[in-house]
Amino acid sequence: MASEGESRLEKVRAKRMRLRRIGIVAALVLVVGLVAGVGGNLIFARHRPAAKDLRQPAGKKKVKTSQTAEPAGGSAQDKKTPAPTSAQFTPSQAMAQAFALSEQVGVRPAGSVKESAAADYLVAKLGEYGYTVEEQPFTTSDGFSSRNIVGTRQGNKDNYIVVIGAHYDSPSGSKGADDDASGVGTVLELARVFSTRTLEPTLQFVFFGANQPGVQDQDVRLAGSGRFVDLLGSLQKNDIVAMIDVDCDGQGTTLALKSQGSGLQRLKDKLETYARLKNQPVSSMKSSADSDNIPFENSQIPAVWIGWCEQDGSVVTDNTYASLAADKVQSVGVLVESFLQSLTSDDLEELKY
């Protein structure tokens, strides 16, 4: 019996020993696994980007790529005076253009190197606004070269064109701030405004060379606008339903609508009616001097000269930039802008027929 009891005790002890060994082995396996896991994390952590590396660098934001094409002439950041993005007439921009022409380009009589430099400036600005530019070279009666600069904005209605123009040459020996850098600034700013709008009529922004203000010989005057009209075929002339000439709009006491009275007056009448509806005082006058509306009137194209003058219609200007009044430039620009915007299909029919 004793030996049998001892045998059972040994079996129990052996079983307990096996369980202990199994427990020790399991504990060792667990410890080894934990150590291996930590070690793996340490190893792989060396090759894993830290959370902060996946973020944008401090002080920088994600840039959303625009699909809008950059205007011809380069990024706005490359410009010393970038054009504002708002599509409305901005008098400070018009004045900046007048300054560039009168003070930076300076005296620019017809056919001169400075007149050509002014033309190059206009080509660049229209290109910056996205226009495809047409140049119309010609030779003046005294043998000098000049050119017209044309930028076109296509409208919704075919065969209806409105021309908005100004001459960019100056009187001989004058910087021509009012005559007619002010008008050029206004028309160039209108070109910027309408580069992002589509109206019923097609708009043509035309900068005429060789107006030759101050020259007494009428046969050599208005060479640029005369050239523009001469290049038109009979059908093209019929398509131009209105020509608005902006000349000398920075000085004077009276905002005037002028024509020589020989052509169709329906544009002048319609613009005068519109101005009064907008509570903008205007005076209707017969031209007291020549401007680029006259070749159009002579071809029976409805045309009007808009600008500031004295009560008797005379243009008295010292042609210095300091004498230009931004509020006068603004009154012309805003009136023309809103008038063009208001033109309906019925208005265009009334102007054309």
pLDDT tens profile 143-162? 999 999 999 999 999 999 99
Supply the pTM of this predicted model: 0.76
- Report strand pairing: 145-153 vs 202-208: antiparallel
Domain boundaries, the chain: 7-37, 76-352
Whether the per-residue pLDDT at 79 is higher than 60: the answer is: no
Per-residue pLDDT, 103: 97
Q: Give the span between the Cα atoms of 35 and 156, in whole angstroms.
A: 77
Q: CB under 8 Å to 201, separation ≥6 — which residues? A: 155, 157, 160, 161, 162, 241, 242, 340, 343, 348
pLDDT tens profile 170-203? 999 999 999 999 999 999 999 999 999 999 999 9
Q: Give the span between the Cα atoms of 320 and 124, in whole angstroms.
A: 24
Q: What is the mean pLDDT of residues 48-68?
A: 32
Instruction: From 278, 347, 329, select the one nearest 166 (Cα to Cα).
Output: 329
CATH topology for the 76-352 domain: Aminopeptidase (3.40.630)
pLDDT tens profile 284-297? 999 867 899 999 99
Record the tokens describing residue 310, joined without a space: 């004295």
Whether the Cβ atoms of residue 173 and residue 107 lie closer than 8 Å to each other: yes
**Position with higher pLDDT, 69 vs 308:** 308
